[in-house]
Amino acid sequence: MVLSSNRVEDLSTHACNEEGFELPISNHDVPPLEVHRVCLPPHKTTLEKLRQRLLEVFFPDDPLHKFKNQTCLMKLYLGLQFFFPVFEWGPQYNLKLLRPDIISGLTIASLAIPQGISYAKLANLPPIVGLYSSFVPPLIYSVLGSSRHLAVGPVSIASLVMGTMLSEVVSYTEQPILYLQLAFTATLFAGVFQASLGFFRLGFIIDFLSKATLVGFMAGAAVIVSLQQLKGLLGMVHFTSKMQIVPVLSSVFQHKDEWSWQTIVMGMCFLAFLLTTRQISTRNPKFFWLSAASPLASVVLSTLVVACLKSKAHGIQTIGHLPKGLNPPSMNMLYLSGPYLPLAIKTGIVSGILALTEGIAVGRTFAALKNYQVDGNKEMMAIGLMNMAGSCSSCYVTTGSFSRSAVNYNAGAQTVVSNIIMATAVLITLLFLMPLFYYTPIVILAAIIITAVIGLIDYQAALRLWKVDKLDFLACLCSFFGVLFISVPLGLAIAVGVSVFKILLHVTRPNTGVLGNIPGTQVYQNMNRYRTAVRIPSFLILAVEAPFYFANSTYLQERILRWIREEEERIEANQETAIKCVIIDMTAVSSIDSSGIDTICELRKTLDKRSLKLVLANPGGNVTEKLHESNALEGFGLNGIYLTVSEAVADISSLWKTETELPI
């Protein structure tokens, strides 16, 4: 509620709210001034405030707005749509949408099959697990997911993290059964964690993985993943299980006698082919099918070459036998008690956070391109539930893949039916085509992984970070070098720590500045930013650009006193009019706590002793209410709070003029 007054009352002008609270803002007899009244927000009980705050924190999108003023039957139907988006798009599905979905589904299947096998090897799991993970999770997501273009399956980052964290404690060669049990258990906990975030609407937790952190992390992970593939590209047998750059390179050169020239030649040829097709597709999106089909084409061609030359290609390692059939149940393999349970939980949470971040980011990216919305919390539940189901059907952590989703989008996918088509193609492969992979060389899987992860190195984004925000660039570097030289999880933790430090730095050391008037206007702006802004004689106008909290209240008090000291020194040097009033523009002060209120009161008392008047301009409703309830406003007198800086300057100047004109 904003009221205005174009007249001056007999003794004082008061600002009041709907409940009748009066806030004095002037007390003089001068020519008419337009002074707007500063009002308190409508009265609310503590319970009402808490309810509103919780709604803003957990339900900013008001997900239940569709249920208002609906019949019980309609509410039931809307509830089914809310929890199962298939009921939203399913009734409207037709043959016109089916054709592009079939094309896109078969296209991403040609990419998902070789990538699934490759990423399973990256996680130190049997290759067949990668195909299992490309069958069940996409079917679950097609019922629960809200993104039309997200292509679900194993991804490189989650595979790398899981493989790294588990292999540091358990050897996948010496204890393969235990390793597989821990992988399925970690997938279960990843799903539980993801679904819980969505159910309790705690998705803001993953926001601590800032873009800067992810840019550095993914680049570092891409380098580590690529270096790990040197084992396959060089045909080596003995290789380090560590993920840091120094042990990996040391292992490569310590076992030079294991290098196979046949493997190197084949690997380099197919790597060049894959990178070339990827470059063509990147430069000309019309040829997206080249990069989509090239991995499967490489698998087929290399398999034929090895099968035909098996007597002369002894140095080329192959995948070997892969069992046919559907996903076997793995509920009996879940490791729910024992000394390695904390490892499985930790691995599941870390890989689950990364998978969730990638999946939601990819889904929102393509949703923005097609102008539709993706509900982040429903996506968390969908991804979490599909991982929980996957852990019971021999799958490991899956999410939306950027490379496959891009192919899905470019192929013209209209709905999540493309995931069903892809899963069907994987099903046919599992049932009938598994013997064909017997002679597939491992070097091809290494080449496919390198081609997929090399796109994660976004140096242009790093350059933008350097130009825009040096602290973000520092977080990016910490994440990158932490992954390269320490470990994948610790590198990520260091980067998150830098991001949190950045948040704390902004909160504890907020921006302040001196404001000046833009000539010919009533606008006041920072004088460092606007060189045309001029100081108002006898006034020091300061802006605080952050909440007034316990964490920054002492700093703000010291910084404001320093601004006053510096202004007094400048005035003395230039022989200008002395300061009589300090105005604090509180436009950007969104909230205040008891420490902030105490600081303002102490600051007012300190300035009173120095014959300086402290005035607050444009405090928010929440801030005004707390100042009023703490009785802090009583000490500011009749001219202590104004709606704008310009009104404060005009009204106080008019008061001073009146006082000088009064007869003694």
Structure tokens belonging to residue 614: 């402290």
Strand ranges, E, within 239-378? none
Task: State residue 313's pLDDT score.
Answer: 64
The three-state secondary structure class of 340 is: coil
Cα 215 from chain centroid?
A: 11
CA atoms within a 13 Å half-sphere pointing along the CA-CB vector of 312:
4
DSSP assignments along 416-461, one per residue: THHHHHHHHHHHHIIIIIGGGGTT-BHHHHHHHHHHHHGGG--HHH
Rounded Cα distance between 111 and 100, Å, is 17
Is residue 639 predicted with pLDDT exceeding 80?
Answer: no
Query: How sure is the predictor about 538, in pLDDT bands with cuts at 50, 70 and 90?
Result: very high
More confident residue, 195 or 321: 195
Domains along the chain with CATH numbers: 2-39+509-661 (3.30.750.24), 89-263+316-503 (no CATH)
CA atoms within a 13 Å half-sphere pointing along the CA-CB vector of 61:
10
Is residue 6 predicted with pLDDT exceeding 80?
Answer: no
Is residue 75 predicted with pLDDT exceeding 90?
Answer: no
Could you tell me which residues come within 8 angstroms of residue 127 by beta carbon, excluding any fewer than 6 positions away? Answer: 117, 120, 121, 319, 322, 437, 445
Lowest-confidence segment of 379-393, 485-499, 508-522 by average pLDDT: 485-499
**pTM of the full predicted structure?**
0.79
Read off the pLDDT of each residue in 100-106 and give the average, rounded to a whole number: 92
pLDDT of 180-235, one tens digit each? 999 999 999 999 999 999 888 887 777 777 788 888 888 888 888 888 888 888 88
pLDDT of 551-589, one tens digit each? 999 999 999 999 999 999 999 999 888 999 999 999 999
Read off the pLDDT of each residue in 336-365 and give the average, rounded to a whole number: 91
Q: Is 108 left (phi over 0), alpha (psi -120 to 50) or beta?
A: alpha
More confident residue, 664 or 277: 277
Residue 589 contacts residue 547 (beta carbons within 8 Å): yes
Lowest-confidence segment of 21-35, 461-475, 531-545, 579-593 by average pLDDT: 21-35
Phi, psi of 179 (to 5 degrees): -60, -45
Residue 249 contacts residue 227 (beta carbons within 8 Å): yes
Lowest-confidence segment of 83-87, 142-146, 338-342 by average pLDDT: 83-87
Residue 61 contacts residue 375 (beta carbons within 8 Å): yes
| CA angle at 280 for the pair 367 and 461, rounded to the nearest 5° | 55
Q: What is the mean pLDDT of the chain?
A: 86
The three-state secondary structure class of 552 is: coil
More confident residue, 136 or 45: 136
Of 542, 197, 174, give the one whose Cα is nearest residue 384: 197
Residue 281 contacts residue 291 (beta carbons within 8 Å): yes
Is residue 24 predicted with pLDDT exceeding 60?
Answer: no
Cα 89 from chain centroid?
A: 28
Rounded Cα distance between 62 and 52, Å, is 12
pLDDT of 435-458, one tens digit each? 989 888 989 988 988 888 888 888
Task: State residue 349's pLDDT score.
Answer: 94
Task: State residue 483's pLDDT score.
Answer: 87
Task: State residue 614's pLDDT score.
Answer: 94
Query: How sure is the predictor about 155, in pLDDT bands with cuts at 50, 70 and 90?
Result: very high
Residue 156 contacts residue 122 (beta carbons within 8 Å): yes
Rounded Cα distance between 312 and 398, Å, is 38
Task: State residue 664's pLDDT score.
Answer: 53
